[in-house]
Amino acid sequence: MRKIVKWIDEYLEEGLLVISLGAMAVIMGIQVFSRYALGASLSWSEELTRYLFIWAGFLSVSYCTKRCISIKIEQFVALFPKRGRAMFKVANHTVELILFLYLLPFAWKYFMSAVENGQVSPAMGIPMYYVQAAPLVGFILCAIRIFQRWIAEWKNVWVRKGE
């Protein structure tokens, strides 16, 4: 069980992104083949690709947060000793965490309005709340990943000088 949790912690976003981006490429490849080689277009392919792209966008925010891939000013922070750099990162992660915790209720309201509305997609007939759950899931994952980074940086702040 511990190995499964560790694997999910390490590869959840990356695995879902690989699957969704691979599925988008395959689906659009089939669509192009069908349109040009068979002379028939698939009614659902562009809709599904769009929905996968939305999910990939929100998952990628969490992935970038986890891997610390973002726009940042490293030259300024690098001037400080290890503890000072960690303090800057703690402050940064605190602001990020506040932002995503602030966004969560809005994402929840957006999701619940989709559930209550009962709208389905035009071509595939799937409930739209499957698509509109992407911001909620993405923001929850971001908050978790930022909190993990926040704890790691606090450990760097409190490390003794000799260690």
Residue by residue, what is the 3-state secondary structure of the chain?
Answer: CHHHHHHHHHHHHHHHHHHHHHHHHHHHHHHHHHHHCCCCCCCCHHHHHHHHHHHHHHHHHHHHHHCCCCCCCHHHHCCCCHHHHHHHHHHHHHHHHHHHHHHHHHHHHHHHHHHHHCCECCCCCCECHHHHCHHHHHHHHHHHHHHHHHHHHHHHHCCCCCC
Residue 143 or 84, more confident: 143
Does the pLDDT of residue 106 top 90, yes or no?
yes
pLDDT at 153: 87
When the pLDDT of each residue in the chain is averaged and rounded to a whole number, the result is: 90
Does the pLDDT of residue 66 top 70, yes or no?
yes
**Per-residue pLDDT tens for 17-34?**
999 999 999 999 999 999
pLDDT at 161: 54
